[in-house]
Chains A and B, each alone.
Chain A
Amino acid sequence: MRSLVGIGLLSAGVLMSAPAAAQPAAAENVEALRQELHQMRKQFETMREGYEKAIDRLGERIQQLESKPQPAVAAPSPASSPEVAPAPAPAPPAIAVSPLDLIRPRQPFGLYSTRGPGQLLFDMGIAGDFVANFTRRHVDKTDAGTFSGRENRFFPREVELSLFGQIDPYARGEVIIETGEEPSEPGELTIRLAEAHLTLLTLPFNAQLKMGQMRSRFGLLNQLHAHDRPFIDSPNVLTRFLGEEGLVERGAELSWVAPLPFFLEGLVGVFNGDNEDAFGHGKLTDPLVTGRLRTFFELGDSSAIQLGASVAHGSTPERRRPNTLLGFDAKYKYRPEGWPHPLLTVLGEVILQNRRIDVLGEDTDGDGVPDTPDERRTRKRWGWYLGGEVRPFRTGQLARWAAGFRYDWTELPVERGREWAAGPYVAFMPSEFLRFRLGYKHTGRDRFTDESSARRVDEILFQATFILGAHPAHPF
């Protein structure tokens, strides 16, 4: 390559200089011609050097590109001028997204065909969450503990395999398969699809559409899996009103972030309604409709608060009677300047229910015939919880420890009765990927609750959580 360029330039120089040599040899012109020839030779040398440098640079560039699949540990050249640092690879062509792009058919395996050997084009992670519960015999017998049917057991509550990543430039996908011990069959593990959804990221007007099976973003904790929650167990108000699994629904959620100087997110969801406790009709003709508004304020450099309001409206599982849940939530964090974690976190939720139910007539005289008529009634019930956690040490071994407390109070959604619970816990986190919690919980119930034979429940709870592989960062 170098010789070709050199020969070319030399030929050009010879050709250009030939007419000059053919001029009449007037003495006054000879010196001028010599000078001209000298000048041209200099120019030629300069050009040759320039081309050689360019060729060297291209050669280095080719070497860099060829060696790219094998990660190179190349030390920067010490004390060299910044200008000599190697040039980066040219940026990939920009992908402009237009509404037309979204409806145009695409080749789903286009990305697959261009991947490198051994590369997965998505992330995967495993989260394991084991809990243990120790309580008295009468609580065990009546299944009246926090993990009903699994009292005095150590069991996998949730072991999840998460697969997530970009589907293409326009959408992201996530699939979570989980297993855990069922309350009805202690010792038996069932494998189920916990979540599977895609999110369209490039919709107009700063909207996103998530569709599939998902944990509904109703309130603070429902959207989190058990291992991500700030407490060992779910607050009683959530398990009473939404069931032990919470609102895991099939449908779609449309979210929008307002173009305002502060954060304001609104979302609307439409689902089948597959919840066994609150919304169970399971038909899109009579769907569960949810909505949520969430805002956030920084209170100086160290503190911040998030406020949310949620609504869920659908039909009850038993007789398709309307049920509406309103939820209000708040979360506050105090994280002093330079701290790697919050010193104080306080959070709470309130749920208000307005539910229509059928009350069957009662047989008051014992003749087997109802003496009072069937009637429809409205159950206006509510409940709440408030919890907090302190992690008082900034760095060092003690920074791995945290302590927290939660108080629950709730009415039952349909039957008469109410319960309250309180419990402290301590947490030890050897690393970001491993956590142990040990807690005590005291539950008090009034005489009307189903579990009135266990009106006072004392439990020791233990939780061990680990994460293998990738796990997305947690939002505030």
Chain B
Amino acid sequence: MRTLLPALGAGLLALGLLAGGAEAAERIRVVATTTDLKALTEAVGGGLVEADALARGNQNAHDLEVRPSLMVKVRRADLLVINGLELDQWAEVVVRGANNPKVTPGAPGRVDASSGIPVLEVPRTRVDRSMGDVHPLGNPHYSGDPGMAPIITTNILEGLARVAPQHRADFERNRTEFLARLAQAMTRWSADLTPFKGAKVIVDHNMWLYFLTRFGLVQAGSIEERPGIPPTPGHLTRLIASMKEEKVRVILTVPWGDQKLAERVAQEAGAKAVVVASAVGAVKGTDSYLDTIDYNVKTVAQALK
């Protein structure tokens, strides 16, 4: 036992030194809390960054289980990109368990991607949890709106430039190129959805407001009566009645939502439930940010036809 403990300690130390040496030689390690932010980080960082996400695309980023495997990712990160607006508060527990001073609150390696976002649904009156799991800082689902990408990428660029100032010009060039592609795609997306301006849709969770507003669509209601609380039968009855009355033909649901319920509501209201990508990688064919928006625009346009 006496010889075993020092040997074990020496082994761990050697592994640590090896791992530390390997880290130094590699690219800028960025960990983002969501796959949207990971994809946008890759767009800005290009080949200079190695990005990873804590939540998978098909997971609900509100309520991620804080696994130690997430701490391993953050433990090695040079930069942490968070969504902010209290969507990913669990990230603070991950950061505390990761023992990485580079990404603790206030450190240079922290990026809050929501900085500068014109936030929607900021409560103007007193809120409490009788309204469900409300977001007191406003709706945090801005990254699904391609119009917010310039702001998000600026925040990411500033963060990357803080940890690797020598590559600022590269990051700026990458961002400009990405935004040019985005602007091109935006023209196409706008054209695809212009015929449906003013069309009403129902959502399962209130996370499409930025996207719908961007393209002139209207959120007429949600299956979730209050955030984070399963809907009551009474609410569903009222929702179905209002869908019939207002001739709402589409329900947007997400991979982690209750799709069976969405389909049932759609069936009773004479509408159609479609699965949209809640984040990059949430469904097949949404491997990049542009692909994801493209998928969502096409899905919504097809459903509204």
Contacts and interface: CB of A to CB of B under 8 A. Distances in A.
Given A85-B151, A259-B19, A433-B129, A169 B105 contact: yes
Contact of B145 (A76, A169, A476): A76
A143 to B, nearest CB: 38
Nearest to B58: A338
Given A75-B213, A78-B213, A476-B67, A88 B92 contact: no
Interface in B214-231: 214-216, 228-230
A172 interface: yes
B183 A81 contact: yes
Contacts of B111: 91
Secondary structure at chain A's binding surface: helix, strand, loop or mixed?
Answer: loop
Contacts of A90: 158
Given A169-B105, A202-B107, A396-B261, A263 B71 contact: yes
Nearest to B74: A257
A433 B72 CA distance: 29
A431 B130 CA distance: 10
A306 B99 contact: no
Contacts of B58: 337-338
Interface stretch (B113-121, B166-174, B243-251): B113-121
B68 A74 contact: no
Nearest to A77: B147
Contact of A81 (B23, B186, B193): B186
Given A76-B210, A82-B179, A201-B101, A89 B115 contact: yes
B122 A475 contact: no
Given A97-B107, A260-B16, A306 B93 contact: no
B223 to A, nearest CB: 11
A286 interface: no
Nearest to A199: B96
A205 B72 CA distance: 15
Nearest to B72: A263
B66 interface: yes
Interface residues of A, number: 75
A383 to B, nearest CB: 24
A304 B70 CA distance: 12
A168 B229 CA distance: 36
A472 B92 contact: yes
B193 to A, nearest CB: 8
A79 B214 CA distance: 5
Nearest to A262: B72
Contacts of B64: 473
Interface string B142-169: 0001111111001100110010000000
A380 to B, nearest CB: 17
Contact of A79 (B69, B137, B179, B215): B215
B65 interface: yes
Contacts of B138: 71, 73
A124 to B, nearest CB: 14
Contacts of A432: 63, 133, 228
Interface in B249-272: 255-258, 260-261
B162 A94 contact: yes
A83 B68 contact: no
Given A82-B179, A172-B96, A338-B256, A298 B67 contact: yes
Interface in A454-476: 468, 472-476
Interface string B96-139: 11111100111110010001111111111000010011000110
A4 interface: no
A208 to B, nearest CB: 5
A262 B73 CA distance: 9
A108 to B, nearest CB: 15
A396 B215 contact: no
A85 B99 contact: no
A306 B69 CA distance: 10
A379 interface: no
Nearest to A95: B106
A255 B99 contact: yes
Contacts of A73: 119-122, 124, 138
Given A76-B118, A91-B155, A475 B97 contact: yes
B68 to A, nearest CB: 4
Given A396-B258, A397-B230, A91 B63 contact: no
B99 A74 contact: no
Nearest to A469: B129
B10 interface: no
B15 interface: yes
B69 A400 contact: no
A476 B68 contact: yes
A88 B183 contact: no
Contact of B228 (A255, A261, A431): A431
Given A71-B138, A96-B108, A259 B121 contact: no
Contacts of B213: 75-76, 78
Given A76-B214, A82-B179, A91 B194 contact: no
B67 A208 contact: no
Contacts of A259: 15-16, 19-20, 23, 75-76
B203 to A, nearest CB: 15
B183 A83 contact: yes
A202 B150 contact: no
17 contacts: A72-B122, A73-B120, A73-B121, A76-B145, A76-B214, A82-B146, A86-B116, A86-B118, A201-B96, A202-B107, A263-B72, A265-B97, A296-B67, A306-B68, A342-B65, A395-B261, A476-B67
Given A76-B214, A94-B162, A169-B105, 15 more contacts: A79-B215, A82-B179, A82-B183, A88-B117, A90-B158, A168-B106, A199-B96, A259-B16, A259-B23, A296-B68, A338-B255, A431-B132, A431-B133, A473-B92, A476-B66
Interface of A: 71-83, 85-91, 94-97, 166, 168-170, 172, 199, 201-203, 206-208, 255-265, 294-296, 298, 304, 306, 333, 335, 337-338, 340, 342, 394-397, 399-400, 430-433, 468, 472-476
Interface of B: 12, 15-16, 19-20, 23, 58-60, 63-69, 71-72, 75-76, 89-90, 92-93, 96-101, 104-108, 111, 115-124, 129, 132-133, 137-138, 145-151, 154-155, 158-159, 162, 179, 182-183, 186, 190, 193-194, 210, 213-216, 228-230, 255-258, 260-261
- Nearest 7 Cβ contacts at the A-B interface: A88-B116, A169-B106, A94-B108, A296-B68, A202-B101, A395-B258, A263-B68
